[in-house]
Structure 1
Amino acid sequence: MKPVRCALIGYGAWGSHHARAIVESPQAELVGIAARSEASQAAARGALPGVRVVGDYHELLTDPSIEMVDVVLPSDLHHRVGLDVLRAGKHLLMEKPMAINEAQCDDLIRCAKEQSRLLAVGHEFRLSSLWGKARAMIDEGAIGTPQYALIELWRRPYRLGASGWRYDIQRVGNWILEEPIHFFDLARWYFSGAGNPVSVFARANSKQPDHPELQDNFSAIVNFPGGAYAVISQTLSAFEHHQVVKITGTRGALWASWSGALDRTFHPSFSLKHFDGTDVREIPIEKPTGEVFELVDEINAMAAAIRQGAPLPASGEDGRWSVAMCLRAQESVDSGKPVSFRTS
């Protein structure tokens, strides 16, 4: 298969990992990088001397040989830049969150359809050999019908991001859109057999009385049709990076865990246990798991979708649902009441 010619917009701490993933993918070729700051441009040139580096991403969008663009920018820029990419006739891989509100998500979905371009959203947890194995076992009936899930993260505070954008609520949207969005997506994915979620009740608090919008601790209960529910919980007031997913069903249970010094460590520890109602056994995981590994799989999946028509791991519609779930959770935090999901 001919490698897909790719451009990357954004070369910060996470963007550099996307660049590495594209380079490591046998199905993709990195031919251009757009970075706003001179420091980021210099870093990109030093790391990737054979790749064109520019300051204005529009220069890359005029290159007819570029087929796909990977956007890794602060959240408030996703809508505008994403529309520019699609209108230039390029396939789009958008880092999560897809956008900071549902109207912007709708714009991107509509534009992708109008341009007949693919729109994928970076929910790379779906490609994990660990979290994905849990989904595969659910599909195989290993625990019967899923009834309950706990998705919990214990971690250090967020990085500031370039120019401190992640701590500017006008730019980030809200902190639920940052990392809990992955967990909302996982919950919806694991309970897909039950249907889309129907309501959410959430709580949050902050260590900073003068910045209550910067929520260090967050928990939500997401309700699904038929009585199934998921508990999603995160603290940013801790240390290292430890995530657990526990899922129980009518005939068994799964317990998955992942730990590392940072979220992007290349040397994590991880495990998956299955209880069949009688015995507990350790499930082998086929390869190392973590966001830095799944990025390569995400690029491969995007290339396969472009070249072979393979399904996207997370479509624009999936990305919109994840944003909607986070926004309804924020509404619940603000009101102190459960909030239903709108169906349109």
Structure 2
Amino acid sequence: MTSDSSNVAPVGVVVVGTGFIADQHLAALHGRTDAHLVGVVDVDAGRAVAAARGNGGVRWTTDLGTALDWPGVDAAVVCTPNASHAEIALRVAAAGRHLLVEKPLAVTAAQAAGVVRAYERAGTVLMVAHTHRFYDYGRHVRDQIAAGAVGRPQLVRLAVLGGWIWPDWRGWNLDPVRSGGHALHNGVHLLDLVTWWIGRSPVSVYARGARQTSAELEIYDYLEMVVRYADDALAICEMSRGHRPQALSYRDVLVQGSTGTLTVPWDGEANLLIDERGPGNAPIPGGNGFARQFGAWIDAVRGVSPPPVGGAEGALAVALGVAAERSVASGRPVAVADVLAEAGR
């Protein structure tokens, strides 16, 4: 079901943080008729001015409170460094506005739980931008599992391997305090996705990290994360930003179920499905993941459908990322329940 934009005023949106990822959200926003950009916010006035000019001369400010008070603002998209997400989210909730926040929802389980409670009290929409759920491959694997193509998933292997993307050593992504570490910054995409595919409660995370690019890194730019689920289903995730050549971009998916096996190659437009009938394939439909994600959020804001990645799922992804970071540090599996307990859940 999609929203009918003919009889309802477009949703007024402010974008908070005007870095690289904000451009993706802005492009998705500009492609819609049921939402419009009211203005942008950035702590750096120069960036804010540039973003405002580049998006049709909309309003700009360095102050979040000012932006939330602008006439016609219904919702906010937050694209700031990870450690700021929880504080900003709480301010948006207090203002009675809806929120689409970049992953992760927060950098601690307690922060994430606090944000979820705030939106439940406010009665406004909270959605977390776990964009891989909206990418072609993510949706396709989920649809195949839901259709029973492989039976009950027992093993999922997901590798997302890439070269260095951050501009220099000053990037906030490389600061574990501001990013939460690589498991929360990039690894959380994989942790959320495999949990969505498997559809059962995660029990523990066992992770290993390496500093592939430089021993001086404060984060691990290469991660191996093993997630165990309630009925002994297993997910093996490999996340890298330390591969060479720098331009490398590679993904590999394997789902082993009780009745079949599904693989999705990075460079192909079809999967390979092997079941009792033998090998076969099916085309993967194309589409824009950011546009799909933004549309789902707007539909949620307008009451058409619930948010596909709500607060509870965002908070669980944070707990998985925290567990992975702790496991790397300790060399031992970390129980997800122990992380969630710290948040009072």
Q: Normalising by the residue count of structure 1, what TM-score does the alignment of the two structures yield?
A: 0.90
**TM superposition shift of 1:163:** 5.0
CA distance in structure 2 between the partners assigned to 1:76 and 1:131 by the alignment: 27
Asked if 1:110 corresponds to 2:105, the answer is no
1:142 corresponds to 2:149? yes
Q: 2:224 aligns with which of 211, 219, 228?
A: 219
Deviation at 1:235, TM superposition (A): 2.2
1:102/1:220 CA distance change after superposition, 3 Å: same
Q: Percent identity?
A: 28
**In 2 relative to 1, CA 64–86 (structure 1 residues): closer, same or farther, beyond 3 Å?**
farther
1:317 to 312, 318, 327: 312
Quote the Cα distance in structure 2 between the aligned partners of 1:166 and 1:249: 36
Counterpart CA distance in 2 for 1:71 and 1:59 is 15
SS of the residue corresponding to residue 214 of structure 1 reads coil
What is the rounded CA distance, in whole Å, between the counterparts of 2:266 and 2:16 in structure 1? 29
Which residue in 1 is equivalent to 2:302? Answer: 307
Q: Is residue 2:269 matched to residue 1:274?
A: no
Shift of 1:249: 0.6
> 1:94-144 CA deviation, whole Å, 9 max, x = no partner?
100101101110111111111111111001211223211110110110001
Structure 1 letter corresponding to 2:211? S
Letter in 1 for 2:259: R
In 2, the alpha carbon distance for the partners of 1:331 and 1:55 equals 35
Matching of residue 341 in structure 1 with residue 336 in structure 2:
yes
In structure 2, how many angstroms separate the alpha carbons of the residues matched to 1:35 and 1:189?
33
CA drift of 1:304 comes to: 0.8
Q: Partner of 1:133 in structure 2?
A: 140
Q: Cα deviation per residue 1:158-206 (whole Å; 9 max; x = unaligned)?
A: 41589521111111111111111010001110111xx211112111111
Name the stretch that deviates more: 22-31 or 311-320. 22-31
Which residue number in structure 2 is paired with residue 265 of structure 1? Answer: none
Contact 1:127/1:313 (8 A) holds in 2: no
Q: 1:244 aligns with which of 246, 252, 260?
A: 252
Tell me which residue corresponds to 1:228: 233
* C-alpha distance in structure 2 between counterparts of 1:123 and 1:110, whole Å: 20
Contact 2:39–2:52 (8 Å) recurs in 1: no
Which residue does the alignment assign to 1:255? 263
Paired AA for residue 318 in structure 1:
E
Q: Distance in 2 between matches of 1:173 and 1:45?
A: 29
Tell me which residue corresponds to 1:262. none
**C-alpha distance in 2 between matches for 1:25 and 1:177:** 30
**Native 8 Å contact 2:209 2:222 kept in 1:** yes
C-alpha contact 1:204 1:219 (8 A) present in aligned 2: yes
Alignment match, 2:14: 7
Alpha-carbon distance change, 163 to 39 in structure 1, aligned in 2, over 3 angstroms: farther
- Whether the aligned pair in 2 keeps the contact of 1:150 and 1:231 (CA below 8 Å) is yes
CA RMSD of aligned residues (A): 1.8
Instruction: Return closer, same or farther for 1:69/1:255 CA change in 2, 3 Å cut-off.
Output: same
Are residues 39 and 5 of structure 1, via their aligned partners in 2, closer, same or farther at CA, if it must alter by over 3 Å?
Answer: same
2:208 matched to which residue of 1? 203
1:268-287: CA deviation from partner (whole Å, max 9, x where unpaired):
x6542222244323321222
Q: 1:48 aligns with which of 45, 49, 55?
A: 55
Displaced runs of 4 or more, over 4 A = 160-163
Distance in 2 (CA, whole Å) between partners of 1:36 and 1:254 is 46
Count of residue pairs the alignment pairs up:
328
Query: Structure 1's 117 and 16: CA in aligned 2 closer, same or farther, altered over 3 A?
Result: same
Distance 1:305 1:339 in 2: 34
Structure 1 171/114 Cα, relative in aligned 2: closer, same or farther at 3 Å? same
* Matched residue, 2:127: 120
User: 2:282 corresponds to which residue?
Assistant: 283
Aligned to 1:266: none
C-alpha distance in structure 1 between counterparts of 2:313 and 2:234, whole Å: 19
**Which residue, out of 182, 189, 207, partners 1:182?**
189
Distance verdict in 2 for CA 1:162–1:312, change over 3 Å: farther
Unaligned residue ranges in structure 1 (runs of 5+):
260-268
In structure 2, C-alpha distance between the alignment counterparts of 1:158 and 1:100, rounded to whole Å: 21
User: What letter matches 1:230 in structure 2?
Assistant: A
Specify the alignment match of 1:87 in structure 2. Answer: 94
Flag the 1:19–1:237 CA change in 2: closer, same or farther, 3 A: same
